[in-house]
Amino acid sequence: MFKKIISAFSSKSQDSKSQDSKSNSGKSNSVKSKQNKAQGNKAGAGKGKVHDRSKHESKPHKAAQKQDFKKSAKGNQKHQTEKKAPVINTWKPSDFVVEAVEGQTRFHDMQLPDSLMQGIHESGFKYCTPIQAQSLPAALKGSDILGQAQTGTGKSAAFLTAVINRLLTDPQEERFASEPRALIVAPTRELVMQIGKDANELAKYTGLKVVTIVGGMDYEEQRRQLRDHVVDILVATPGRLIDFMGSQDVYLDGVDVLVLDEADRMLDMGFIPDVRRIERATPTKGDRQTLFFSATFTDAIRRLIDQWTHEPVEVTIEPEQVATDNIDQKFLMVAGDEKFDILCKYLREEKIERAIIFANRRDITRKLCDRLNKQGLVAGLLSGEVNQQKRIKTLERFRDGSLPLLVATDVAGRGIHVDGVSHVFNYNLPDDSEDYVHRIGRTGRAGTKGTSIALISEDDAFELPALEEYLGTKLKLEQPR
């Protein structure tokens, strides 16, 4: 059997408001106020261009133009700095002590607002990861950012810190429902929900309102969240955001910060036409800050960068560093019909806190999950065929420790950000080497150590040359113990 593997291996060397017509003048004054503030703020931040909102001055608030507009509806009223009341607490900056260490950047060194620092403190952050240390100084000054980084590098915390800081240091007194100031677009429901969770944790003491909209969830409830509240940060998948734009429940001409996360994945999933429509609904580049993140910079991605960013500061974190720094990678040569038994053996004998088992197809994950549960190994399923509510409950059980094993496909598993994942198993090697890095990036996060075990059968061996080239290293094949 091993001869077959060696032979196969060597055979291939690669997403309301104004009560009546008074909104005409109210909206006009709001826009002028925004413009004056933007000019002062941009000048301080070193940006050459300022928001030009004059094209909106003659327009009444948009919700008043809708046929179902009701003057008494909460979401159709004009709001004067309506925000959640910050949580009253006794926390002081002196409670957050982090010693200065040579070669490490502290969040203390960024001169962030105290309310944001408390969220950072409670999130357990002390020192910046490389993507945070390299991107935040420019992002906090208002520059566009072009970040090449995988998941697991701390990029979500980097752009969320920049977004929250901007909204706190450049407040706007007059706000309307349905008009977010910051928009974050990501390709999958799980990733969007994770970003929303992280945003709520970091912004917990700031009074900022975070709203998350994804497909597969209660449409009317999400609509009420948009129309009945002043939204500061909107996190969305492209498809559901397009739906709400079409029904005129959200307006993007007031967006000050646009974040596009995992642009390469959105390109692969065919979302770019939707993202183009979304981007065109926001102020033009240079009149907004754009934070653009992608794991790879292909020619197609470079063209999007040129279209959507203005003189961006480029930050690159090499993928091979992400894959190897904190993760012990093992590649076990096995026969195809032995995979399940060997997987069960390792699940029982390894010191596993939480483990994710990745497979390439929905049918494989479904059958694998069923077989594990029949063996007494409690596992949950995360794939596209599982409805969204059940996926959320499964992730919550996995996060709180009541579910030790998770069987997932690549798309469903891309947004899994759970602390304490000790092991990742590759039941099949993915067709795309980049997906391998995303998979094992679920463990070894935030400086912790993790273990990745790949079960390599004859079929998987064909993927090894491309994986070695992508990682830039020779992989050591072992026999199971």
What is the full DSSP assignment across 275-332?
HHHHHHHSPPTTSSEEEEEES---HHHHHHHHHH-SSPEEEE--HHHHHHSSEEEEEE
- Tell me the three state secondary structure of residue 58: coil
The pLDDT value recorded for residue 37 is: 44
Which structure tokens are listed for 44?
């301080």
Residue by residue, DSSP assigns 193-234 as: HHHHHHHHHHTTTTT--EEEE-TTS-HHHHHHHHHSS--SEE
Q: Is 11 exposed, middle or buried (CB count within 10 Å of its CB: 0-12, 13-18, 19+)?
A: exposed
Look at the block and give the residue holding tokens 């309301």.
16
pLDDT score for 413:
61
Tokens of 243: 């739906």
Contacts of 94 by beta carbon, 8 Å cutoff, 6+ apart: none
In this prediction, residue 21 carries a pLDDT of 41
How far apart CA 288 and CA 38 sit, in angstroms, is 10
Exposure on the CB side of residue 473, measured as CA atoms within 13 A? 10
Contacts of 54 (CB under 8 A, 6+ apart): 31, 35
Tokens of 427: 């039941």
Q: What is the pTM assigned to this prediction? A: 0.65
**CA dist., res. 245 & res. 279, Å (int):** 12
Alpha carbon 163 to chain centroid, angstroms: 13
Give the span between the Cα atoms of 385 and 39, in whole angstroms: 49
Tell me if 248 sits within 8 A of 280, measured CB to CB.
no
| 362, 383 contact by CB (below 8 A) | yes
Q: What is the pLDDT of residue 83?
A: 53
Q: If phi over 0 gives left and psi between -120 and 50 gives alpha, with beta otherwise, what is residue 290?
A: beta
Task: Tell me which amino acid residue 42 is.
Answer: K
For helices 339-349 and 362-374, the axis angle rounded to 10 degrees is: 50
- pLDDT at position 6 is 47
Q: What is the full per-residue pLDDT of the chain (481 aa) written as tens digits?
A: 444 444 444 544 444 444 444 444 444 444 444 444 444 444 444 444 444 444 444 444 454 454 444 333 334 444 444 555 554 678 888 889 889 888 899 999 999 999 999 999 999 898 999 999 999 999 999 999 999 876 667 889 999 999 999 999 999 888 889 999 999 999 988 889 999 999 999 999 999 999 999 988 889 999 999 998 899 999 999 999 999 999 999 999 999 999 999 888 888 778 899 999 999 999 999 999 999 998 778 888 889 999 999 999 999 887 545 455 688 999 999 998 999 999 999 999 887 888 999 999 899 999 999 999 999 999 999 887 887 778 888 888 998 889 999 999 886 666 677 878 999 999 999 988 878 888 888 888 766 788 999 999 988 888 899 998 888 888 889 988 7
Sheet containing 327-333: order of strands: 379-382, 405-408, 355-358, 423-426, 450-456, 327-333, 477-478
In the chain, domain spans? 23-317, 320-478
CATH class of the domain whose range is 23-317: alpha beta
Joined tokens for residue 128:
């910046």
Give me the pLDDT at residue 317, please. Answer: 81
Intrachain domains 23-317 and 320-478 with the same fold: yes
- Cβ neighbors of 377 (< 8 A, separation 6 or more) are 344, 347, 348, 405
Exposed/middle/buried for residue 439 (C-beta within 10 Å: 0-12, 13-18, 19+): buried
175/162 Cα distance (integer angstroms): 21
Kindly report the length of the chain. 481
423 with 451: CB under 8 angstroms?
Answer: yes
Look at phi and psi of residue 401 and say left if phi exceeds 0, alpha if psi is from -120 to 50, else beta: left
User: Using CB atoms within 10 A of its CB, is residue 314 exposed (0-12), middle (13-18) or buried (19+)?
Assistant: middle
From 135, 154, 141, 87, select the one nearest 114 (Cα to Cα).
87
Domain at 320-478, CATH class: alpha beta
**Burial class (CB within 10 angstroms; exposed 0-12, middle 13-18, buried 19+) of 225:** buried
Give the Cα separation of 476 and 329 in Å (integer): 9
User: What Rg do the C-alpha atoms of the chain give, in angstroms?
Assistant: 24
